Amino acid sequence: MGVTFATSPTLFPRAAAAVINAGRAAAARGWVPATSGNFSAWIDENAFAVTRSGVDKGSLTPDDLIVQPIDAPLEPGSSAEAALHLRLYRDAPETGAIFHVHSPAASVIGRAHARDGALRIQGWELEKALSGVTTHEAVIEVPVFDNDQDVEALAERVARRLAEPPHDAVAAPGYLLAGHGLYAWGRDAREAWRHLEALETLFQQILASRSYRP
Ligand SMILES: [Zn+2]
């Protein structure tokens, strides 16, 4: 099935390239095993490009993408999780790209902190890769949600939580689904990738520090 253009066909290739490159890079790192994960990027103010259900993120082509209008229900062939992308783009129009991975570290650390409802990160230099963070002393809060196969209900819970950022910590540009993975975003694909890579690496560092005993 080919791509259908609901909007601005001339801008589609740029969004498609962003999604394809992110999928390939995530696959190379082992973060999207067995066709998992979802990647999306803005085309223009009316629509975004998102990976369709069940495709290998390491070998995406433009035919593996769906053009999803912002003001419409999910297009046929969409992953159920595209609802999480759609809700975030609607609620935060400054979002330029959203990358979702089922990486081992994110899955494990989300599950470990499900009961807390959040993971707080402090004391790591890589926090500074998150936009607006200038010191390792900053406290970063990553929300953690219980996994849920009712994605519409999950999208509602996520939206309500993101609308109320913490008063005593920096809200991470991402959230965890317990035992499932990480969503991260940015104003454009470059920033979304930096946030994804920084958060995932922070999770790996935290897990390593908890198991390392000199
Ligand atoms: Zn997922």
pLDDT score recorded for residue 1: 43
Q: What integer pLDDT is reported at residue 8 of this predicted model?
A: 62
Q: Are 65 and 49 in contact (CB under 8 A)?
A: yes
Mean residue pLDDT of the chain comes to 94
Residue 123 above 60 pLDDT? yes
CA of 106 to the centre of ligand 1 (A): 11
The yes-or-no verdict on residue 4 having pLDDT over 90 is no
Would you say 137 and 177 are in contact if contact means Cβ atoms under 8 Å apart? no
Q: How far is the CA of 37 from the centre of ligand 1 (A)?
A: 5
214 CA distance to ligand 1 middle (Å): 36
pLDDT in tens, 147-193: 999 999 999 999 999 999 999 999 999 999 999 999 999 999 999 99
| Gap from CA of 198 to ligand 1 centroid (Å) | 19
Average pLDDT over residues 83-104: 97
Q: What confidence tier does 2 reach under pLDDT thresholds 50, 70, 90?
A: very low
Measured in Å, residue 134 CA sits from the centre of ligand 1 at: 30
Please tell me the pTM assigned to this model: 0.95
Is the model's pLDDT at 67 over the cut of 70?
Answer: yes
Measure the CA–CA gap between 60 and 55, rounded to whole angstroms.
7
Closest CA to 85 of 131, 144, 43, 138: 43
Name the residue with tokens 């099935």: 1
Instruction: Evaluate if residue 213 carries a pLDDT over 90.
Output: no
Ligand 1 centroid from CA 23, angstroms: 13
Q: What is the pLDDT of residue 194?
A: 98
Rounded mean pLDDT of 66-84? Answer: 94
Ligand 1 center to residue 200 CA distance, Å?
15
List, as one string, the DSSP characters of 124-138: -GGGGGSTT---TTS
Distance between CA atoms of residues 118 and 51, nearest Å: 28
Residue 55 identity: V
Q: Which domains does the chain have, with CATH numbers?
A: 12-211 (3.40.225.10)
- Spacing, Cα 161 to ligand 1 middle (Å): 19
* Helix (H) and strand (E) counts in the chain: 5, 9
CA of 181 to the centre of ligand 1 (A): 6
Whole-angstrom Cα distance, residue 101 to residue 185?
12
